[in-house]
Structure 1
Amino acid sequence: MVNDFWSPVRLSIEVAVISGIIVLIVGVCIGAIMANKRFKGKSMIETLFLLPLVLPPSVIGFLLIVAFGKNSPIGRLYDWLFHQSIIFTFGAAVIAAAVVAFPLMYQSAKTGFEAIDLDIVGAAKVDGANRRVIFLFILLPLAYKSIISGAILSFARALGEFGATLMFAGNIPGKTQTLPTAVYLAIDAGNTKLAWAWVGCIIVISFIMLMIINRKSEK
């Protein structure tokens, strides 16, 4: 019984951590590229990046099934490499969480990079610093507060992902059953006590994450 309780908790944290690392790396890199850039079609690209914030989770889940299903190029490649479909696997849960969490990371990182004084970057270029040095030793340190906030928000969003995960990864105990899907199953089975216990876990973890952000913003 204890293992049954902690399995969704552990799985949710694993999914949130892995997807959080993915969106942290991708979001920071893309945010640095897009910040202070002006080019034709930028608004269209950024709209696509932020679209998961407003799309219903069921729609995101459906699009992921289409994109990674056996009939898609990505799905056929995955099936050829691993001899199985990615749908209803742990990887599917990570992908679903990463997709819905990415906009928060991207927007936070881009905002942090946009707030950096371009004169500082210009001075570094004059002194001979290349793009890698500027990114690692100037841009990242100056935008770290926004990056940390985005990472924490992304983690919390990934932790609470439900709709897209349910459609794309399913609700398989010990394999793809995260806390939100476990709560749904417990309520559906009439086990309110167990549902409350899992809800309490999500609330505590999310509260801690938001508290860290608030502490960072006060400094």
Structure 2
Amino acid sequence: MPTVGLFITCFNDTMFPDTGKSVVKVLERLGYKVVFPAAQTCCGQMHFNTGYQRECVPLARGFVERFENVDVVVAPSASCVAMVREFYGRVAEVGGDPGLAAAVARTVPKVYEFTEFLVDVAKVTDVGASFPHKVTYHPTCHGLRMLGLGERPLTLLRAVRGLRLVDLPAATECCGFGGTFALKNSDVSVAMGADKVSRVLSTGAEVLTAADNSCLMHVGGLLSRARSGVRVMHLAEILAQEAA
């Protein structure tokens, strides 16, 4: 079994630590050894997306230094994995550092989003989970459009014992979060989120899940304010559940 390095991401580490714990629980259940480099920091996505590409250079350098020597890197965040895989080459170019570029080229190919790792690398679709609830799934933009996660998350959810998976209408439409977009264009962001909420409610689901807590935080806040009774859970937290 390869040693898995958990890239928790700063967002999850700060606000949703149970998601990281759930990833470890699932991977250890499958027999993997998981290590957590404690010195890891932000991937630099918000800096890069806001135009501060040079400020990403030390963050990319720190990432490859922390994870270069593990067999594989797994993160419960499609958006952060997309940043590393799609843009670290550009960050190394901006830094003008051939050593960093070489380290990025070695490290980036072994970085996986959690569901992608389970299905493509571990070759597992049934992780032994049990979750007797009605659930709907939101495919986040980075997972859908940049990583091409496709059916992987849905395949994992369908194998969960007791889980009733219901389709989310217009599922591929953005929830409106978009990181700093939600701050700079708050009215548009909230309107998009409200559209997503109405569609979630139309499913009658008890739980909304996704591969990114950032999107779940945005939609979950609106669901909470609407007193909908619908809760949000990262997909890893569902997969970590076992029968009592």
Q: Under TM normalisation by the shorter chain, which class is it? A: under 0.3
Q: Which has the larger radius of gyration?
A: 1
Which has the larger strand fraction?
2
